[in-house]
């Protein structure tokens, strides 16, 4: 695993504008950063990322089965009791998953360590699946990269295939939080994949969803929504005013309700309890009941937390680092510290994509801080050797 500098395409701005990559820069700062790339060997990808991701996914599904069948764990996951049956039903009925992204600390040798699982509303998929692949093709065509350079990236093909497998009989509505350019861009990309799979689609802000007197969700044209993809976390939806309709509506969700288990940081101590000393897991505990394995530092994370907010990073010699945010009301977990590798001063996080429970591509993010956030830079990658 190497980080190498490379010329930025002289027409990058035009490429981003033409392909609708409106968040290539965020607040004037570079988000899509192609001034460098990461190079992996095929063995590193297959043995250290792809295979562990697939194995961890099966472990995570075992964890979901344990949680939905045990009130103790549903409480530990801070799931409101009035939604327990909703989550359990979606699991028992095997409602289909679309995608997810596991985040790892990985140095290029030795086991990748799972930091968290963004299984409900992960972003960065447009740039990982499409813009990253286009970058590779163009840099190869321009002889900037060698002809044999490849990329771990079958994300788009898998998404289109997965949408076709859902066998939806009605329109699929794609919803995003109004005002977020990144969320809108992510949903627009997924909508296009569904369209390529032959599915009738619509797209609108989640704020425009209505409800009739029977509790059925309605689109802006006041037509009942049969299927919805929502880029809106389940834990937020459980607190939303609309949550009172969830147990009545006939709308089916992508991602399904049981994904609320996987996107929850309580998953980490449960996995450690179910699979102790697994090479791809870190010791993890609920904050009020810690155990062994934290001697070399630890990270405290809110049970419901996103985008690097409310993280406290404890290093035995480098001290403490904290990120502000609005999470933590439901409590915290602690996880043994696996510091991100540092390349040229950049802290590097590996995101491993799954579609239909199968590993299929990478997102790589860099930050000046050991705690990555939503604005952390996206760096493309290649496979060579």
Encode pLDDT of 264-296 as tens digits: 999 999 999 999 999 999 999 999 998 999 999
Give the model confidence (pLDDT) of 354-365 as tens digits: 999 999 999 999
As a whole number, mean pLDDT of residues 103-130 equals 96
Q: What CA–CA distance (Å, rounded) separates 60 from 268?
A: 9
Q: Which of 67-71, 267-271, 327-331 has the lowest mean pLDDT?
A: 327-331
Give the model confidence (pLDDT) of 209-220 as tens digits: 999 888 889 999
Would you say residue 323 has pLDDT above 90? no
Q: Rounding to the nearest 10 degrees, give the CA dihedral for residues 309, 314, 320, 325.
A: 10
In the prediction, which pLDDT does 167 show?
Answer: 87
In the prediction, which pLDDT does 370 show?
Answer: 87
Pairing of strands 36-40, 29-30: unpaired
Give residue 270's domain range.
2-383
Residue 116 makes CB contacts below 8 A (sequence gap 6+) with: 102, 103, 265, 268, 301
Buried b / exposed e over 107-126, threshold 16 CB at 10 Å, is: bbeebbbbbbbbbbbbbbbb
As a whole number, mean pLDDT of residues 344-351 equals 96
Residue 274 makes CB contacts below 8 A (sequence gap 6+) with: 59, 62, 63, 66
In the prediction, which pLDDT does 157 show?
Answer: 98
Residue 223 makes CB contacts below 8 A (sequence gap 6+) with: none
In the prediction, which pLDDT does 109 show?
Answer: 87
In the prediction, which pLDDT does 327 show?
Answer: 76
* pLDDT-above-70 percentage for the chain: 100
Q: What CA–CA distance (Å, rounded) separates 119 from 230?
A: 13
Task: Give the 3-state secondary structure of 195-233.
Answer: HHCCCCEEEEEHHHCEECCCCCEECCCCCECCEEEECCC
In the prediction, which pLDDT does 310 show?
Answer: 84
Pair 133, 156: CB distance under 8 Å = yes
In the prediction, which pLDDT does 207 show?
Answer: 92
pLDDT category at 91 given cuts 50, 70, 90 is very high
As a whole number, mean pLDDT of residues 1-13 equals 97
Place of tokens 């949680």: 67
Among 349, 378, 383, CA closest to 118 = 349
Q: Which of 82-91, 312-321, 323-332, 368-377 has the highest mean pLDDT?
A: 82-91
**Coil, strand, or helix at residue 159?**
helix
Residue 204 makes CB contacts below 8 A (sequence gap 6+) with: 173, 174, 175, 219, 220
Q: How many CA atoms lie within 13 A of 264 on its CB side?
A: 28
Give the model confidence (pLDDT) of 215-242 as tens digits: 889 999 999 999 999 999 999 999 888 8
Give the model confidence (pLDDT) of 157-192 as tens digits: 999 999 999 989 899 999 998 888 999 999 999 999
Residues in the chain: 385
* 372 φ, ψ (degrees, to nearest 5): -80, 150
Q: How many CA atoms lie within 13 A of 359 on its CB side?
A: 22
| Assigned token pair, 327 | 């999470």
Would you say residue 375 has pLDDT above 90? no
Would you say residue 305 has pLDDT above 80? no
The domain total for the chain is 1
pLDDT category at 326 given cuts 50, 70, 90 is confident
Task: Give 160's strand partners.
Answer: none
Q: What CA–CA distance (Å, rounded) separates 359 from 54?
A: 6
* pLDDT-above-90 percentage for the chain: 83
In the prediction, which pLDDT does 66 show?
Answer: 98
In the prediction, which pLDDT does 308 show?
Answer: 72
Among 266, 370, 385, CA closest to 323 = 370
Q: What CA–CA distance (Å, rounded) separates 321 from 375?
A: 18
- Could you give the C-alpha distances from 332 to 64, 264, 265, 300, 316, in angstroms and in order? 19, 11, 8, 7, 20
What is the value of pTM for the model shown?
A: 0.95
């Amino acid at each position: 695993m190497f980080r190498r500098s490379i010329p930025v395409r002289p027409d990058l701005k035009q490429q981003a504008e033409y392909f609708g990559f409106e968040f290539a820069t965020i607040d004037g700062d570079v988000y899509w950063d192609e001034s460098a790339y990461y190079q992996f060997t095929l063995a590193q990808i297959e043995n250290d990322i792809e295979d562990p991701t697939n194995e961890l996914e099966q472990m995570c599904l075992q964890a979901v089965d344990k949680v939905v069948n045990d009130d103790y764990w549903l409480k530990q996951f801070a799931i409101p009791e009035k939604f327990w049956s909703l989550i359990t039903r979606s699991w028992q009925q095997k409602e289909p998953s679309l995608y997810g992204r596991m985040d790892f600390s990985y140095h290029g040798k030795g086991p990748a360590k799972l930091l968290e699982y963004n299984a409900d509303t992960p972003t960065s998929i447009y740039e990982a699946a499409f813009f990253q692949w286009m970058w590779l093709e163009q840099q190869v065509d321009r002889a900037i990269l060698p002809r044999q350079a490849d990329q771990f990236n079958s994300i788009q093909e898998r998404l289109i295939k997965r949408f076709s497998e859902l066998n939806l009989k009605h329109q699929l509505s794609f919803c995003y939080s109004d005002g977020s350019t990144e969320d809108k861009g992510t949903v627009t990309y997924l909508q296009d994949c569904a369209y390529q799979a032959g599915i009738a689609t619509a797209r609108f802000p989640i704020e425009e969803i209505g409800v009739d007197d029977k509790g059925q969700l309605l689109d802006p044209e006041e037509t009942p929504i049969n299927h919805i993809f929502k880029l809106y976390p389940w834990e937020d939806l459980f607190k939303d005013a609309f949550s009172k309709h969830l147990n009545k509506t006939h709308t089916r969700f992508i991602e399904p309700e049981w994904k609320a288990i996987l996107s929850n940081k309580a998953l980490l101590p449960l996995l450690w309890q179910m699979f102790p000393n697994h090479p791809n897991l870190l010791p993890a505990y609920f904050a009020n009941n810690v155990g062994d394995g934290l001697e070399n530092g630890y990270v405290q994370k809110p049970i419901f937390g996103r985008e690097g907010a409310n993280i406290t990073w404890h290093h035995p010699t480098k001290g403490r680092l904290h990120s502000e945010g609005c999470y933590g009301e439901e409590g915290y977990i602690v996880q043994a510290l696996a510091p991100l590798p540092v390349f040229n001063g950049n802290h590097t996080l590996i995101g491993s994509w799954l579609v239909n429970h199968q590993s299929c591509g990478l997102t790589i993010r860099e930050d000046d801080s050991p705690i990555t956030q939503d604005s952390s830079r996206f760096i493309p990658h290649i496979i060579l050797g």
